[in-house]
Amino acid sequence: MLLAVGYGFWRRFVEKPRRLEPNREAILILSLIAAIMVTDFAFDGFRFAKLAALDAGIRARGGVLAGWAHGGGLGIRAAIAAIDAGYHAFYWLQMLTVLTFLVLLPAGEHFHIVTALPTLFFARGEPGRRVPAVTSNG
């Protein structure tokens, strides 16, 4: 996800295609998505470090590579209180970021993210703007 967000920034600021006009809202949305991902990695890292400190970290790994790597970097070297503080801080920071994202989404031009799934679910069987087929009359 972070690679996709990075590519989005690359297209906006380096490639600059004509159809991507300067837009603060798009930059804000990309930044919020990146912040959600970074806080999730940090939260997972502190969670794994907390579980490792409680000698349960091996069971909690479960394939979450970025969080596990971050947690391994924190390890038991950090004080339990600092690990617990980071765990709670990044949890609430992520929740605040997600809620901010959800408040801004319906008010802007990116509301299609919310409406895409119901639109696809309730779509008619045939595309509405389809070019009619040419048939022979003979």
Eight-class DSSP state of 137 = -
In degrees rounded to 5, what are phi and psi of residue 130? -90, 140
Across 113-128, b (16+ Cβ under 10 Å) vs e yields: eeeeeeeeeeeeeeee
Inform me whether the pLDDT recorded for 78 exceeds 70.
no
pLDDT digits (tens, 9 = 90+) for 24-49: 888 898 999 999 999 999 998 888 88
Residue 17: strand, helix, or coil? coil
58's CB contacts (< 8 A; 6+ apart) are: 52
What lies within 8 Å, CB to CB, of 56 at 6+ separation is none
- pTM exceeds 0.85 for this model: no
